[in-house]
A = this chain, B = another copy of it.
Amino acid sequence: MKGRLGEIKEQLARREHRLTPQREAIVRLFLERPDEHLSADEVFTHIRARLPEIGLSTVYRTLELLAELGILQKLDFGAGRSQYELSLPDAGHLHHHLICLRCGKIREFQPDGLEELEEAVARETGFEILDHSLRFYGLCEDCRDER
């Protein structure tokens, strides 16, 4: 039984990529907080605490690489910057987002019944559907009260 980090190292090796200290630090950051959505700049700030010499472009390149390998998922919530989250292999795609319009908090939820809808739309339109994204926008419990 080897840890998630070991698996990732192998995934990288298979593509002739190395698990450098910078990459390891970034992967660890996401493994430590499996539920967070971090922007490149947030990652940069966190990592710099341990690796002060790291460059922002290394962060961008690493995030892109990890997203290509399917280890991270790149999300665009439209605030002019992308965010990344750990892509749990066992969770499949049954995980979507609930976004607070006031404080920006993001929660996850698992919807049911999207598959049938997906099939119906595919049949109707001739599209081959490969992925989907469902988002609900609103006010979280805290922000609803403060209104």
Contacts and interface: CB of A to CB of B under 8 A. Distances in A.
- Copies of this polypeptide in the complex: 2
Interface in A76-135: 76, 78, 82, 98, 100-101, 107, 109, 111-113, 117-118, 121-122, 124-135
Contacts of A133: 133-135, 137
Interface in A44-90: 76, 78, 82
Contacts of A126: 140-141, 144
B137 A134 contact: no
A131 B97 CA distance: 12
Given A107-B127, A127-B107, A132 B137 contact: yes
B138 A129 contact: yes
